């Protein structure tokens, strides 16, 4: 009888505990609006970036970019990091028109936005 009681108790505990699953995401977001939070945070961080910040400093603050490009012009090396800052398409993919380009010349931030990128090219 004691064995039957232990088995029954084990089954009840096992089934009741199997529904206790918590998934934690970085940043504590759970509502499916992670992209909104990310965009807002990226806009805030970008607006506070000092010119001449190193590319590593920016990477440490914003993390990996959605896209990146590099090119040379004369003896200067340019890198462009694109961070998501605005929602345009509800297709589940981030496109360049949903990002802000951060332009680095010789690993120093010279500005951000399409006008800065156009001047650098």
Domain limits for position 71:
31-120
pLDDT of residue 35: 73
What residues contact residue 15 under an 8 Å CB cut-off, 6+ apart? none
Q: Is residue 114 part of a domain?
A: yes
pLDDT digits (tens, 9 = 90+) for 10-26: 555 554 544 444 444 44
Angle ∠(114,116,121) on CA atoms, nearest 5:
95
Answer whether residue 26 is part of any domain.
no
17 is a domain residue: no
> Which pLDDT belongs to residue 22?
41
Q: pLDDT at position 100, please?
A: 95
* CATH number of the domain encompassing residue 72: 3.30.1450.10
pLDDT for position 80: 97
- Per-residue confidence (pLDDT) for residue 34, from 0 to 100: 82
Residues of the chain where predicted confidence (pLDDT) is lower than 70: 1-33, 89, 91-92
Q: What pLDDT is attached to residue 96?
A: 83
What pLDDT score does 105 carry?
98
Query: 112 - beta bridge partners?
Result: 102
**Is position 19 within any domain?**
no
Number of structural domains found in the chain: 1
Position 30 scores a pLDDT of: 41
């Amino acid at each position: 009888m004691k064995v039957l009681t232990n088995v029954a108790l084990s089954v009840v505990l096992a089934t009741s505990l199997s529904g206790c699953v918590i998934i934690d995401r970085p940043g504590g977001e759970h509502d499916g609006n992670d992209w909104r939070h990310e965009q807002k945070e990226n806009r805030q961080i970008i607006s506070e970036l000092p010119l001449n910040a190193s590319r590593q400093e920016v990477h440490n603050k914003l993390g990996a970019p959605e896209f990146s490009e590099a090119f040379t012009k004369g003896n200067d090396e340019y890198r462009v990091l694109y961070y998501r800052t605005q929602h345009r398409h509800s297709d589940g993919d981030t496109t360049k028109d949903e990002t802000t380009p951060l332009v680095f010349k010789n690993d120093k931030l010279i500005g951000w936005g399409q006008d800065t990128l156009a001047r650098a090219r």
